[in-house]
Structure 1
Amino acid sequence: MANVTQWTKADSIYINREISWLQFNRRVLQEAQDDSTPLLERIKFLSIVSTNLDEFVSVRAAGIMEQVKSGNHSKDFTGFTPKELLKQVTAMIEQLAADQYATHEQICHLLQQQGIVFTTFSDLDGQQKKELEAYYVQNVFPVLTPLAIDRSRPCPLIRTKSIYLAIVLKETKAVAADSQGTKLALVEIPANLSRFIEVSSQEEHAKKHYILLEDLIKSHIHTLFTMYSPVSFHAFRLTRNADLSLDEEGAEDLLDEMEKVLQTRRWGTPVRLEIEKGFDPWILELLKSELEVDNHIIITTVTPIDLSFFMSFSSSLSGYEHLRYPGFEPGYPRAFARTDDFFAVLRERDVIVMHPYESFEAVNDFIQQAALDTSVLAIKMTLYRSNGDSHIIQSLSRAAEMGKQVTVVVELKARFDEARNIEWAKTLEKAGCHVVYGLAGLKIHAKMTLVVRKEEDMLKRYIHVATGNYNEVSASIFTDIGLFTANPRIGEDVSNLFNEITGFSMPVHWHYLSVAPTHLKQQLFRSIQREAKHAQEGKPARIIAKMNALSNKEMVDQLYNASKLGVQIDLIVRGICCLRPGIPGLSEHIQVRSIVDRFLEHSRIFYFENAGNPQVWMSSADWMTRNLDRRIELMCPVLDEEHKSMLIQLLTLLLDDNVKARVLLPDGQYIHVTNHLAVCRSQFDAHSIIMKQQDTHDLIHNESVPDIKLPLDAYLEQPDQEWIIYH
């Protein structure tokens, strides 16, 4: 058994948020390292690691650096000062990057065995070189712009997350290549050209060869400098602080202000510099001085900088289906499959849809029917992140053009989707929709749609609330829950919430919804405290909570208190978790697991035993401070008993997963249990089980769920078993 560092009383009872996030990204990397993951899916996970790390560095690490720069020496609730945390985070980032690139080497070797080869220009034959030279002249050379750096031409703006070549030049007739006769130039690798280029072959059944764009440019770098000879040329990439500072209170026009702020993102403070191995030391010192990155994160790579291109590369390959996950086509929700009238179905019963196992087309069709139905008077909807060519945007525009009252709350502050949301907002406004840009100081993260329809002599509300965004692309890879209902009290609550967002209304009373930031957190506290009271009274008491992140200290403390009073708590937390489970006298009744698999676990589902009368909630909110205190979020009860049973069974499946689940130990490490353990008995992959159901409602009658759970005690009580410890 691998050695595990034990938690001691000298340690904090909380895990730091940033450290926990980096551990999550390591779990994503483990999927790229896992031999059981299909090869072309492994390179996708490698791409996700890069994208995740880019966002973390540009926002979270950048924020820590700003605190250090400002002289902040105070400790956070996990016991770290900004300086101490930056040191720890930097070391973890460097190690993660090193492991990522080592994994890249291994995967490229396996790709080569499958006939997919990344090569260099120098290794090509004469005919291939000739074809690529023609491609370079026609498609690449006209786009390139060499940027000389000298007294009259200072260092240009280095764009964040763009790849550049730094070229050392000397005059053609110069003899000495000392710094006095040396020139420097930069060339940006065009981001609007494909990063990978397929090399043709005359051989039948030949391997597929690819060359990276930067290698092709390096091989022709002399074409850009006719009076100088390139001495060296290496790639680098700069990451800047991308955390926007928006003056919402002082802005006269929020849309205009956001567009201005987006322009400043490219000028953000540098936080990370990635360089190729062998990078010229003279250029490095010059860049460090020019960009002021002496004390920031500098990563040296032996493989290509920025592996995010692997996502599009994997998707572009045809004829390699055996290297991908088995094909999966989501079914259309059974409740809507035999009718074109969503409203008739919802007048009879509520419908829950589970994505991606059930098609997002049901949501598109619901909005489209509302748009075209002449009895529908109004549609109101929140949009946090939508996708390109969105059917929903088209339907909303059509509804407005037909004269319906269409109100769309577009959250302009959705990080890294700000520009896209501005585009949607303008499109919807042109179509005649009322567009609301959110509220000052609050992000609107609630996912909800309200349709008002005239039926006989009355108006009736139809509602859709969800745990995920109205995004067709993410709905195919994220696990989320959507509820369709005509419940009049839920409808009244949603109407009141829209009025609160768009006007000056403030609901006096909520029938069913719990809304952040006003009282969602308090509702959760009351539910946790009720379980603690029931445990003290000897009544059934249990909590199962599934979410993406748990970092709010007050919430962690509430769970600690409930555990001390005997409540059994099972947390399914995909990413950040600041709670330490299994500490005697504090959290010994709490277990935490994280599942990273084919689909991204994204739904938020909360179960409270309630002395034998279970309550189940679905929510847009994670248990993070930003969600509970600084966003408009909603939490909606699941009222239908069959739907409750279905979601409880879903939670049970995830708790029984012994293939992709990792269990959090008291010391903050995650363990992945091998499938041949006696405690596991047989391989059980929750995602695979759900995909095999003809309809997600069949989960209620599923008999394949094993009765063997995997508590943390199993690890502690079976030290002779084989466990894999991931640091």
Structure 2
Amino acid sequence: MSSAVENDDLLREPSLYFNRELSQLDFNFRVLAQAQDPSVPLLERLRYLCISCTNLDEFFEIRAGTLQHAQQLGLAAGPDGLVPSATLARIHERSADLVQAQYECWNDVLRPALSDAGVRVLHRDSWTDAQTEWLRGYFLDEILPVLSPLGLDPAHPFPKILNKSLNIVVVVEGRDAFGRAGHLAIVRAPRSLPRIIQLPEAISGGASDFVFLSAVLSAFVDELFPGMEVKGAYQFRVTRNSELLVDEEEVENLALALKDELLGRGYMRAVRLEIAEQCPPDIVALLLENFDLDESAVYRINGPVNLNRAIQVYDLVRRPDLKFPPFTPRVLPGTDAMFETIASHDVVLHHPFDSFSPVLELIRQAAEDPHVLAIKQTLYRAGKDSPIVEHLIQAARNGKDVTVVVELRARFDEEANLGLADRLQAAGVQVVYGVVGYKTHAKMMLIVRREGSKLCRYVHLGTGNYHSGTARAYTDIGLLTADADIGHDVHLIFQQISGLAPSLELKRMLQAPFTLHSGMLMRIEREARNAKAGLPARIVAKMNALNEPQVIRALYKASQAGVRIDLIVRGACSLRPGVPGVSENIRVRSIVGRFLEHSRVYWFENGGEPELLCGSADWLERNLLRRVETGFVIVDPRVARRVHAEALENYLADNCNAWELMSDGHYERVAPAEGAAPHSAQMKLLHKICG
């Protein structure tokens, strides 16, 4: 017993854990590598660059903002031994490296390459006379009427600056009509203005020419200060903490509390300041003072401060030769009769290679089918103009009993989900906001249908959201089944969420925060016991992120017992692989390709009787212990073999888009061995499934 305790203490050593925030930050370097890869189509490279910028925005809004709050509360160090202040310091250092790499990629690689391809994002100093004249007219007609410059003086203190909004700080000299001496003014760009402006082809000579709004504002800002001299104009942008902190125990109405909280989200505490690199130090100091930031939070930018807005160029340019080839997802046979198809056999959908349309069809057919009595569904992110929502509303109008669990706290979708809940309630749908203190992140749909003298349950379970858009951009697994045990389990979980049911005994499923964590630990420990007994023992798991300390220690112990463990972790991974005596049997890889890897799949060899589960949860502390999540066993051996082959073994063979995590924390890109053929897991599935 004492040796086991000593080993457990050893496995708690901070050196065995990578910092979750820094690991998540490093994921963006792998995304940026796609923008730097000349084998990727040019406009897709621009898209990857913009994704890395948007990801960094969200990282500061949520991860850095949360750490800042933790620092104020004096919270202790995490498993890696870093206190919040130390983590924040490293974040700013690593982020500075990332920002520099992003703008080098933009200025030195992508802008010139796009220009050579006839897609020009023009610098102000390269405008022709005709372009300058057209842009001046555009400024006077379309931009100036909606601007409200604010001179800074005792009567006009520094204004509130909205999160991630584009602003120009202007240095002016002279006196205005009231005799006031000019010094500094702030010009805020309203969100109604496009951040990228496309010039007419007649002005551009047939090329696709674009200009950032920030360049136009800087070029013609003197028009806002007639009779005064503009000495300088410097763009800046501030990022604020956007994590909502609603005390659910203290509010009577979560929806109303969230609405109030959302009103102030754009003006919460600042965490980062981006500013034009040539901005004078005294102005930078003024901004830092007003945003209550120190010098470590400043990022001096050689280019537009809102570089992620260049994604509009991708959307506006019709150049198929500069984008990934289009594909048509495979449509499940028998979609016209979904109940008969699912009743005959379990169906697995591997998105985006398999179409999401069978899920939409199932809901549509349920809404119209006179034998359907009830529909229950979770909605975490549904997307704008969701066809699923329309089908649910129609089902309610057709007299079905429709219950929808809407997660109001889905990050950055809170406002959309509040509106969604109002629409559903107005149509007669029973809307449930989930469980106080626990986000409902599970992806479940249950349909109750009368067939003869009995009631049958049809279920959809997924690893991703009920969102038609992301179903074409994210890899996810969906299961359609009429299995009675799974139907029973899903029914009980819905009852528990909407009512006040006790903890459940489920037959085929695991549920967070009750049995999912312990169920995963039990399976990992079972592999360790099997390895010690000389039985077949292996673990292959695919997820978005891994940081839960007990799971990591269990994996270390399994590795020590001789279990071979392959982890496919897209983003943050706190586990340190390859440590002698601890994790030398663990390999960790990350796949970054055309589609965002999002499926969660867990396979255990189980002494020669493999068990495969899918689910909505990563191996993160929040998912396993502080959310409502589900994990479901794939019962049908045929379906399980397909998921194992496509979502696991296929990805372990990838030597084109894979990165391997080294024991020192850095990732190395995997390349085909000498004489080996290239293997891209995503391309393999595109060719195999989509044809």
- Scaled to the shorter chain, the TM-score interval is over 0.9
1:111-142, CA deviations, whole angstroms, 9 ceiling, x for partnerless residues? 11101112245533333333323322222112
* CA displacement 1:193-228 (0-9 Å, x = unmatched): 221112234489733221111211222212212243
Residue in structure 2 matched with residue 671 of structure 1 by the alignment:
668
Question: What does residue 6 of structure 1 align with?
Answer: none
Report what 2:9 is aligned to: none
**CA separation of 1:433/1:14 partners in 2, compared to 1, >3 Å: closer, same or farther?**
same
Q: Give the structure 1 partner of residue 5 of structure 2.
A: none
1:496, 1:507 within 8 Å by CA — same for their partners in 2? no
Does structure 1 residue 630 correspond to structure 2 residue 633?
A: no
Aligned pair in 2 of structure 1 residues 173, 84: CA closer, same or farther (>3 Å)? closer
The 8 Å contact of residues 57 and 239 in structure 1, kept in 2 or not, is answered as yes
Counterparts of 1:628-707 in structure 2, within 5 Å, are 628-650=624-646, 651-675=648-672, 677-678=673-674, 681-694=676-689
**Aligned counterparts of 1:110 and 1:559: Cα–Cα separation in 2:** 46
Distance 1:173 1:373 in 2: 72
Q: How far has the Cα of 1:508 moved from its partner?
A: 3.8
Residue 507 of structure 1: CA displacement? Answer: 4.8
Instruction: Please state whether the residue corresponding to 1:453 is helix, strand or coil.
Output: strand
How far has the Cα of 1:10 moved from its partner?
9.4
| 1:137 corresponds to which of 130, 137, 140 | 140
Corresponding residue to 1:157 among 157, 160, 174: 160
- For residues 102-121 of structure 1, the aligned pairs below 5 Å read 102-105=104-107, 106-121=109-124
Per mean C-alpha deviation after superposition, the further-off stretch among 578-587 and 281-290 is 281-290
Alignment of 1:300-449 (within 5 A): 300-318=300-318, 320-334=319-333, 336-337=334-335, 340-449=336-445
What amino acid maps onto 2:188 in structure 1?
E
Checking the alignment, whether the CA contact within 8 Å between 2:176 and 2:182 is kept in structure 1 is: no
| Equivalent-residue separation in structure 2 for 1:476 and 1:549 (angstroms) | 21
User: In 1, Cα distance between the equivalents of 2:201 and 2:366?
Assistant: 53
Distance 1:153 1:490, change over 3 A: same
- For 1:379, the aligned partner's letter is I
Amino acid at match of 1:240: R
Q: Are the counterparts in 1 of residues 503 and 514 from structure 2 also a CA contact under 8 Å?
A: no
- Aligned equivalent of 2:91: 89
Q: Does the residue aligned with 2:15 lie in a helix, a strand or coil?
A: coil
Output the CA distance in 1 between the equivalents of 2:483 and 2:511: 18
Q: Distance in 1 between matches of 2:93 and 2:139?
A: 40
Seen in structure 2, the aligned counterparts of structure 1 residues 663 and 464 have a Cα distance that, compared at 3 Å, is same
| Partner in structure 2 of residue 496 of structure 1 | 492
Alignment partner of 2:298: what SS?
strand
Code of the aligned partner of 2:219:
S
3-state secondary structure, aligned to 1:12:
helix
Q: Which of 559, 570, 590 is residue 555 of structure 2 equivalent to?
A: 559
Aligned pairs (5 A) from 1:70-219:
70-72=73-75, 74-105=76-107, 106-121=109-124, 123-171=126-174, 181-202=181-202, 206-219=206-219
Q: Secondary structure at the match of 1:459?
A: strand
Quick one: which amino acid aligns to residue 674 of structure 1?
A
Question: Do residues 19 (structure 1) and 14 (structure 2) align?
Answer: no
1:255-282 CA-to-partner distances (Å, cap 9, x unmatched) read 1011011112122111100000111333
User: Structure 1: how far apart are the matches of 2:377 and 2:175?
Assistant: 64
Structure 1 residue aligned with 2:455, among 439, 459, 464? 459
- 1:555 Cα deviation (Å)? 0.4
Q: Is the 8 A contact 2:288 2:295 kept in 1?
A: no
Question: d(CA) in 2 for partners of 1:571 and 1:71?
Answer: 34
Deviation at 1:685, TM superposition (A): 0.7
Distance in 2 of aligned mates of 1:194 and 1:631? 38
Asked if the contact 2:151–2:182 (Cα under 8 Å) also holds between the matched residues in 1, the reply is no
CA contact (8 A) 2:120 2:210 kept: yes
Amino acid at match of 2:398: M
Q: Any unmatched runs of 5+ in structure 1?
A: 1-8, 175-179, 697-727
User: What amino acid maps onto 1:302 in structure 2?
Assistant: N
Taking structure 1 as reference, are residues 663 and 547 closer, same or farther at Cα in structure 2, changes over 3 Å only?
A: same
The answer to whether the Cα contact below 8 Å between 2:511 and 2:628 also exists between their aligned partners in 1 is yes
- Residues 549-599 of structure 1: CA deviation (Å, up to 9, x unaligned): 010011000000001001110000000111111111101111110000000
Counterpart-to-counterpart distance in 2, 1:227 and 1:280: 24
Secondary structure of residue in 2 paired with 1:509 = coil
Counterparts of 2:60 and 2:115, CA distance in 1: 32
1:198–1:507 Cα change, 3 Å: same
Instruction: Give the AA of the match of 1:355.
Output: H
SS at match of 1:511: coil
Q: Per-residue displacement from partner, 1:604-655 (whole Å, max 9, x unpaired)?
A: 0000001111101011000000000000000001011111110111111100
The structural deviation recorded for 1:284 is 1.6
- What is the Cα deviation at residue 49 of structure 1? 0.7
Q: Distance in 2 between matches of 1:125 and 1:15?
A: 52
Name the residue aligned to 1:231.
231
1:523 maps onto 2:525 in alignment: no
Distance across 2 between alignment mates of 1:694 and 1:407: 34
Q: 1:203 to 1:277 in 2, by over 3 A?
A: closer
Within 2, Cα distance between the matches of 1:455 and 1:198? 58
Tell me the residue number matched to 1:514. Answer: 510
Residue type at the aligned position of 2:82? F
1:84 is displaced (CA, Å) by: 1.8
Q: Using the aligned pairs only, state the percent identity.
A: 39
Q: Distance in 2 between matches of 1:257 and 1:204?
A: 51
Tell me by how many angstroms 1:345 deviates.
1.1
Q: Secondary structure at the match of 1:267?
A: coil
CA deviation profile, 1:233-257 (whole Å, cap 9, x unmatched): 1100001111111011111111101
Q: Which residue identity does 1:219 align to in structure 2? A: A
Distance 2:445 2:312 in 1: 33
Q: Deviating runs (4+, > 4 A) in structure 1?
A: none
For 1:10 and 1:425, the matched residues in 2 are separated by 46
The CA distance in 2 between the partners of 1:646 and 1:70, in whole Å, is: 48
Contact 2:458 2:487 in 1 (8 A): yes
Deviates more, 1:583-592 or 1:83-92: 83-92
Aligned partners of 2:570 and 2:130: how far apart in 1?
Answer: 50
Q: Residues 224 and 205 (structure 1 numbering): CA distance in 2 closer, same or farther, change over 3 Å?
A: closer
Q: Secondary structure at the match of 1:211?
A: strand
Q: Aligned AA for 2:302?
A: V
Paired residues of 1:550 and 1:623 also in contact (CA < 8 A): yes
Larger mean Cα displacement after TM superposition, 303-312 or 638-647: 303-312
Q: How has the CA–CA distance of structure 1 residues 217 and 44 changed in structure 2, closer, same or farther, with 3 Å as cutoff?
A: same
Is 1:248 equivalent to 2:248 in the alignment?
Answer: yes
